[in-house]
Structure 1
Amino acid sequence: MTAISTAPPVPRLASRHRLVKVMRLHLVNRLTYVGIPWIITGVALFISIVVALLISAAVPEAGRQDALQGMSYSWAVLSPLWYLAVVGVQAVSAVFPFALGFSITRREYALGTLLTYVVIAAFNATGWAILTEIERAINESGVVFHHFTALWLGEVGAGAVWLSLFALQILIFAVTSAFAAVYARWRSLGMLVLWAAVALLVLGLIAFAVLTGTAPSIIDWLMGISTVSFFAALLIPAALAFGLGWGALRRAPLRG
């Protein structure tokens, strides 16, 4: 006969506590997730202010308003987003093996990482949306200046600004994490195959649109959809990228 143990099971942290533990591991160095993006935001804003002052000093008053209005085409407002690609890679390359060393499962790591991305993206999007509204109020007072109200951000409401910045962050986090996960699982060969697959997919879609004559209608459709619909749709490829990353991490070896 086999003896049946009546000893109580070894206590384990509740699932939600483990997810919080993963988030804490990501946020041990808050400078990476929060500090540097906002430092970049401040530096970019300072540069925009300097450019606006130079325009005001160099351009005659008759054409000054038009020259300052040209700043609405600046991409400086998006400069913090490019750094977030580094964050997505570090979330896998540095935190993943460390988290598993704390007996956190791969599933818990993936869910905790996703929650971290959502919290950070929501926090940043809220801050940037508030600054956009402040700058919009400054412009309505008669002072022409565009940094946070550049590109489409100056033409849509606060909700659309928040959604667009949130979705862009989630997409960047998900895609860069997926690439890092593929590298962790299959190394250079996996990256080569992934880049080739992405290139072939893009070329295939372009070729299909051109050869079937649907390119003009597709472009018209893209130009006609609302800002909210467009950026909400970006959450779909973000979800696919996160799924790809999770699939790679399920069997990724713990190696440096």
Structure 2
Amino acid sequence: MSTNQLSQAPSVDRKEHQAAGPLVKVVRLHFADPMRLLGVPLTIFASTTAVCVVVMLLIRAFVPGDSAEFSEGFRYNQAPLWCFAGYFVSVGAFAYARTMPFAMGMGATRRQYWAGTAIALVVESVYIGASMTIFLALEKVTGHWFSGTHMFDVYVMGNGSFRDIFLMGFGISMFTLFAGTMFASVFVRWNQKGVLLVVFGIVAVALLLAWVLLSLGVDVVSFFSVDIVARIAVGMIVLGLLSAAGSWLVLRRAPVGR
């Protein structure tokens, strides 16, 4: 190995280390408060399950009928689909406002901050998918929470499929978290007017897309008639990735600390 190669190798290693350092720091910054991203979702799942169990017990105690029919009716429960979505939109929306100035103060560039935030949110999405899968396993083991209550073993989450509930948990998290960050980046750069314009733009594009599909005779219903839960989950993941890309396009020129 020549003298020049020996002299260049350490500098390359230092550059790679310096580039990776801020990414790790940004990820750690988002998880600095474990309760916000790790504890609160579990609390939401547990408390929503407890409410559903209480509702089921009240129905069985005061409504005449077959308990098996009541339990089967709970398969239409949509609580796991909505119980944490709003919270995660707010988490994504506040992610930039709470951490961006600190990350810049630690020497991270906008690109490094965006990439570190994206990694943190993907990790969080995997965590939610895994958590919902574990809750589903517990629900099955306990005979639906010892009361016939269906919370995670429901139609909208895959009807007891571990694969589908993981994909749904991951997909909902990806979509809501990255949608929140996208709107947060728009607000940081253009304030409320920018958010309103983006909302109107998204609605207009969605309506235009629907018109094009209907005009071309595309049968969207038949596409989702097979493996519907998994395909909806994949669709939400795609929307989450598009939101992540949109947040970067806006964030790269956004002011810090607005």
Shorter-chain TM-score: which interval?
0.7 to 0.9
User: Is structure 2 residue 131 aligned with structure 1 residue 130?
Assistant: no
SS in 2 for 1:223: coil
Matched positions, count:
246
Identity of aligned residues (%): 25
Deviation at 1:102, TM superposition (A): 1.5
**1:99 aligned to which of 93, 98, 103:** 103
Distance 1:48 1:154 in 2: 18
User: Which structure 1 residue ranges, 5 or more long, are not aligned?
Assistant: 1-7
Bigger fraction of residues in helix: 2
Do the aligned partners of 2:53 and 2:145 also contact (CA within 8 Å) in 1? no
Q: 1:45 and 1:186, CA in 2 relative to 1: closer, same or farther beyond 3 A?
A: same
Q: 1:108 and 1:201, CA in 2 relative to 1: closer, same or farther beyond 3 A?
A: same
Deviation at 1:156, TM superposition (A): 4.8
User: Is structure 2 residue 93 aligned with structure 1 residue 89?
Assistant: yes
SS in 1 for 2:106: coil
User: Is structure 2 residue 246 aligned with structure 1 residue 221?
Assistant: no
Residue number in structure 2 paired with 1:5: none
SS in 1 for 2:84: helix
SS in 2 for 1:251: coil
Residue number in structure 2 paired with 1:243: 245
Distance 1:54 1:182 in 2: 46
Do the aligned partners of 2:152 and 2:160 also contact (CA within 8 Å) in 1? no
Q: 1:248 and 1:122, CA in 2 relative to 1: closer, same or farther beyond 3 A?
A: same
Distance 1:213 1:203 in 2: 14
Residue number in structure 2 paired with 1:64: 67
Per the normalisation by structure 2, the TM-score is 0.86
Residue number in structure 2 paired with 1:180: 184
Q: Structure 2 counterpart of 1:69, which letter?
A: E
SS in 2 for 1:67: helix
Distance 2:57 2:201 in 1: 47
Do the aligned partners of 1:37 and 1:81 also contact (CA within 8 Å) in 2? no
Per the normalisation by structure 1, the TM-score is 0.86
Distance 1:233 1:239 in 2: 10
Deviation at 1:53, TM superposition (A): 0.9
Q: 1:241 and 1:58, CA in 2 relative to 1: closer, same or farther beyond 3 A?
A: same
RMSD: 2.5
